[in-house]
Chain A
Amino acid sequence: MKKNILIPLLLMLAIGIVLSGCATTQSQADKPKPYRMTPQGTVIWEDEFEFLPPPPDWKLLRVEEQGDINFGFMRNDPGGFPSVTTFAYDEEPFGCTTRFEDREKEFFKRFLFNAIVQFQVLEKKPVQVAGGEGLAVTVEGKDPVKREKVRAKVVFGKRGDRVVGWYITQWRPMDAAYDLSVFEIFDKFVNSFKFLKPSFYQTL
């Protein structure tokens, strides 16, 4: 049978070429909490995810971009500027491809692009995450001009056909030591992460 082909065209008339969809933060004052706690100590986020949260001294971060879900946590660490640790779940990490190795390359082209640091891969290994295969990449970047450094771990996983990401960044002055125990909190967050229902894209 001849397939009835519908070929709509999407035309995107861009403002120049430099606007690439920057995330914007929104006031949460008038919104109900998107999460609830379970008796087991895990968080149910918008009935869509379940995970083990960090200790209470971490602040919740939430970024909304075109309806996609991105949230995370941050903590100001002891020590001089910029001693801070942030970790997050990202429904749409930088890049497009669904192969982890390629996505990793695309991702690190733009990860922390404002900071202008050169990343060195410290470790890269396959992992199990959210019930499927994943890739964990640990990197360190240094800014010799500002005398700052950052250690980051990025875990790529799959939700349906699409790649999702979890990442932690820990910034320090160049001569300060990292607090690697915080990465264990992040690992618990990632390892506890469950998808409670199919994503929007899986329902299409």
Chain B
Amino acid sequence: MEGHQRNLYLYDRFNARVLGVSRDDTLTLKYWGQGLDLTFPLLSNITGFLGAYFGTLKDNQFVFARRTVVIDKTGVIRYARDGSPDFKDILLFLKKLNQEGGKS
């Protein structure tokens, strides 16, 4: 999450916005976000339907598996990677996506 916070100026450059989602309650997310000085939204999804939608409910675990997803302006998932985010890979992808958007 801290890596995403560092990259916000680059996400802005590529017309991207970042959101975090977990199954934690809003109060937990509020203090956790404050602890890391995060300024982007963290979404609480206690019921877990977003995890089901994005395929991150694994092996009947309550918590979401870690996954990074990029959704384009038409709502199409264009990028999905499991595990810790590869920030350089994400930035290169967003740059490419932004260039595609600029041409259309």
Contact = CB atoms under 8 A, between A and B. Distances in A.
Interface of A: 4-17, 19-21, 66-67, 92, 94-97, 106, 109, 161-162, 200-201, 204
Contacts, number: 140
Interface residues of B, number: 59
Contacts of A201: 10, 91
Contacts of B5: 96
Contact of B86 (A5, A8, A66): A66
Interface of B: 1-6, 9-11, 13-24, 28-29, 32, 35-37, 50-51, 54, 56, 63-73, 78, 84-88, 90-92, 94-95, 97-98, 100-102, 104
Nearest to B93: A8
A10 B63 contact: no
A13 B63 CA distance: 9
23 contacts: A5-B101, A6-B14, A7-B16, A8-B94, A9-B71, A10-B16, A11-B50, A12-B20, A12-B67, A12-B85, A13-B56, A14-B63, A15-B63, A16-B24, A17-B22, A17-B32, A66-B88, A67-B87, A94-B2, A97-B37, A200-B88, A201-B10, A204-B10
